[in-house]
Copies of this chain bind each other. A is one copy, B any other.
C-alpha cells in the first residue's frame, strides 16, 4: 500500500510531519510512504530523524506550498505545483491509495474535487469531523467542505458518515441524527424537512432530528448537516471552548492564592484540555473522494500526524470506498446523483 504524505502541510512543516512519519513507519510494515514536498527541506529533516535511505519512504518533489492564509484556488491556479496538488495527482493516478495532509483544508477540497473527482454516484465530498460528547465522540458530516448542499447531498453524507462511523467507532449500526432546530416542534427548515423524509428510507440507523446542544450529551454517532451549518456548529463549539479557557485563566490569576492553587492543579487542567484534544483522533477524512483523503489540523503535532497516517492506512484496509459504493448500490434511486445536475 502506498500513501502520499504532504510534508509541507500545516504550521510546522516539514519537521513535525516527518517526525510524525518517523513514529508511524514501524506500525505499518505493509506501507510505502510517498513524501511530497520541497526536496531540499524534506531531505534535511529526513536526515535529522534518521530516515535517509529508509526503504519505506519515496520522495516526490513539489517546489511550492499552498500556505495556510492563501486562497483555496491557489492550489489550482497560482501554485499548480504545490504539495497538496501533487498529492491529489498521485491519488488520481492511483499511484497511491491514500493521501494525508496536515494543511490547508480548502485547498485540499478544491484540489481533490477538480483532480481526483468523487466516487461514481457521489455528488459532493464531505468533511467528517470528530467532536467530543459526554459519552465519548461523534462525527459531524459535513463539517465544512460544501457551503451549499441539497437534500441528496445530505442523504449521501448520512450514508458515508454511517459507514465511516462503523470503522471509527467499531459499531455495527451507528446512530445517525439530522442536525435541526426546535425539536419536535419546529422540525427544522425546508432542507432538513425534505431530507428527514429521505433519511427515514435509508438502510441506516436514523434516530431522527437532533439539536446542537443535545449532540454533546451523547446518544448519537453521526450528526448530518450541510457544510455551512456544520461549520458554524463546529466553530461555535471551538470558539466557546477557547473563551472558557480565557475565563478560566482570568478567574485563576485573580489573586496570588488562586494562582498558587492553580499551579498545584496543573495536571487537572491538562486533563480538562485533553478531553477536547484532537491529536489522537487522526485528522478528518474527506468522504466521497475517489481515493482516501485525510486532512489534519493546520497545527498538527507529530502525534496527530502519526494518527492521521494510521487512519489513512486503516481506511484503505477497511475498504471504506468499496463499502460506500456498495451502500450506494443498495440504496438505489434515493441516494443517486441526478444526472441532469451540473458537476
Chain A positions near chain B (C-beta within 8 angstroms): 71-72, 106, 132-134, 144, 147-148, 179, 181-182, 184-186, 188-190, 192, 211-217, 225, 227-229, 231-244, 246-248, 251-252, 254, 258, 261, 264-265, 268-269, 271-272, 275-276
Complex CA gap A242/B254 in Å reads 24
Complex CA gap A232/B153 in Å reads 19
Can you give 6 A-B contacts (C-beta < 8 A)? A106-B185, A147-B182, A212-B236, A216-B239, A228-B229, A240-B240
How distant is A120 from chain B, measured CB to nearest CB, in Å? 26
Q: Is the CB of A239 within 8 A of B214?
A: yes
Q: Is the CB of B216 within 8 A of A144?
A: no
How distant is A40 from chain B, measured CB to nearest CB, in Å? 29
Q: Is the CB of B132 within 8 A of A243?
A: yes
Q: Is the CB of A227 within 8 A of B147?
A: no
**14 additional contacts (CB under 8 A) given A216-B240, A216-B243, A251-B269:** A72-B186, A106-B185, A147-B181, A181-B235, A192-B228, A212-B234, A229-B229, A232-B232, A232-B236, A236-B236, A236-B240, A237-B237, A237-B240, A247-B276
Q: Which residues from B are CB-within-8-Å of A228?
A: 181, 188-189, 192, 229
A211, A214, A228 — which one has the most chain B CB atoms within 10 A of its CB? A228
